[in-house]
Amino acid sequence: MANYMNSTETIIMAALSTLSPPHLSHLSHSISALFRRHLRRLVTLLSYPTLFTLTLRHLQSLSLHQKSLLIARHLLSNLTLLNHAIRNPIAAAPPPTSMRLRDLDAVLLLLLLCELHQHDRDFLDAPPPRWRAMLAAYASDAVLRLSSFGGCSNGEALIQFVESARRCWNLVGVMGCGEGKEGRDEAASAAAVVALPSVAVSGGEECVICKEEMKEGRDVCELPCTHLFHWICILRWLKKRNTCPCCRHRLPTDDLRREIHRLLEELAVIGGGGGGGGVGFSQEWYL
């Protein structure tokens, strides 16, 4: 995977700068609504001792890699919403990436634990029964701030979104979600392949995979980049890799880390390439 990836904040801010003020306002409202949904869930989690205990036990039962996957799915959902909104500024927001309620509770709790530990390195030395009260006290300011998003400027909601994406990406990067697959080809996801359309050709065009002509009146497969191929040829190709044989346009995969990279790269293109240094910082993981 490319090591040249610009900082997450730079990429997202550059992509946001391409939106008109009305479209930026629309996106801000969508992001505020997302934050409020997550906030309500977090408040519920911190308000009920039994629910908090069960969620904490679930979180503690997960391996380091499983924790990374949780955060990766959370980040991917947010980046999908952002990418969709920027590419289709007047369309409705896409449905959120499916995540079980237990996993949503776990990832929200994990992110809050990591954030509090950044502010108080001695926090995790306290007995676990005290964690809920300590987290609730720490989160009270955030609760008040996020609850008032409806009356705040669009910029505040967007800044919170960018900061959340940066934090998640740094954590996923440290965890090495998908580690060991860098540089390897990855098959396109089954959902992406099934969604590909069939189109009729007028003849004369060549399938670059088999080097044979695509006959007139026959249905062929069209990739999102508009390149055409015989169905049997492209299906065999996409079982091994997720890129167009002509232009290397990437289709979605089932690898979360690759999907995050793909969406960030698409946002970087939208924003004109961005700038800045590499992604990631050193961060310890707990629980």
Dihedral, CA of residue 114, residue 118, residue 119 and residue 125, to nearest 10:
70
Backbone dihedral angles phi then psi of residue 115, each to the nearest 5 degrees: -65, -45
Task: For residue 175, name the pLDDT band (cuts at 50, 70, 90).
Answer: low
Going by C-beta distance under 8 Å and a sequence separation of 6 or more, which residues neighbour residue 13?
162, 271
Overall average pLDDT of the 106-110 stretch: 93
Collect all residues with Cβ–Cβ distance below 8 Å to 249 and sequence separation of at least 6: 223, 224, 225, 227, 243
165 in the same domain as 100? yes
| 142 and 44 assigned to the same domain | yes
The CATH number of whichever domain residue 243 belongs to comes to 3.30.40.10
Q: Are residues 87 and 29 in the same domain?
A: yes
Q: Is residue 68 part of a domain?
A: yes
14: in domain: yes
Model confidence at 4: pLDDT above 60: no
Q: Which helix (H) or strand (E) covers residue 265, if one does?
A: helix 256-270
Q: Tell me the two tokens of residue 88.
A: 């289709």
For residue 64, count other CB atoms closer than 10 A to its CB. Answer: 12
Domain shared by 191 and 121, yes or no = no
| Predicted structure pTM score | 0.71
Please list, in sequence order, all residues whose beta carbon lies within 8 angstroms of the beta carbon of residue 33, skipping any fewer than 6 positions away. none
Residue 70 near residue 110, CB atoms below 8 Å: yes
161 and 190 share one domain: no
Please indicate, yes or no, if residue 104 is contained in any of the structural domains.
yes
Order the strands of the 219-222 sheet from edge to edge: 198-200, 219-222, 228-229
The answer to whether residue 46 sits within a structural domain is yes
273: phi > 0 → left, psi -120 to 50 → alpha, else beta; which? left
- Ranking 2-11, 62-71, 94-103, 266-275 by mean pLDDT, the lowest is 2-11
Q: How confident is the model at residue 144 (pLDDT cuts 50, 70, 90)?
A: low
Torsion sign, CA atoms 163, 167, 168, 170: positive
**195 and 151, same domain (yes or no):** no
Q: Is residue 287 part of a domain?
A: no
Strands 228-229 and 219-222: antiparallel
Q: How far apart are CA 224 and CA 138, in angstroms?
A: 46
pLDDT in tens, 237-258: 999 999 999 998 889 888 888 8
Residue 285 lies in a domain: no
Q: Within 13 A of 266's CA, how many CA atoms are on the CB side?
A: 20
Indicate if 84 and 163 belong to the same structural domain: yes
DSSP-assigned letter for residue 62: S
151 has pLDDT over 50? no
280 located within any domain: no
* pLDDT band for position 225 (cuts 50, 70, 90): very high
Token pair 């989690």 is found at: 45
Q: Are residues 32 and 162 in the same domain?
A: yes
Question: Quick check: 98 pLDDT over 70?
Answer: no
Give dist(CA 120, CA 137) in Å, integer: 13
Residue 280 has pLDDT above 70, yes or no: no
Same domain, 70 and 116: yes
**Separation of alpha carbons 46 and 48, rounded Å:** 6
Q: What is the pLDDT of residues 53-92, one digit of tens each?
A: 999 999 999 988 889 889 999 998 888 888 888 887 766 5
Q: Are residues 53 and 106 in the same domain?
A: yes
Bridging pattern class, strands 219-222 and 198-200: antiparallel
Domain that holds residue 219: 182-254
DSSP-derived secondary structure letter, 178:
T
Q: 87 and 103: one domain?
A: yes
277: nearest Cα among 165, 168, 170, 161: 170
How many domains, in total, are found in the chain? 2
d(CA 278, CA 7): 6
Q: How confident is the model at residue 181 (pLDDT cuts 50, 70, 90)?
A: low
Please state, rounded to an integer, the average pLDDT across all residues of the chain: 80
Do 186 and 172 belong together in one domain? no
Confidence of residue 183 (pLDDT cuts 50, 70, 90): low
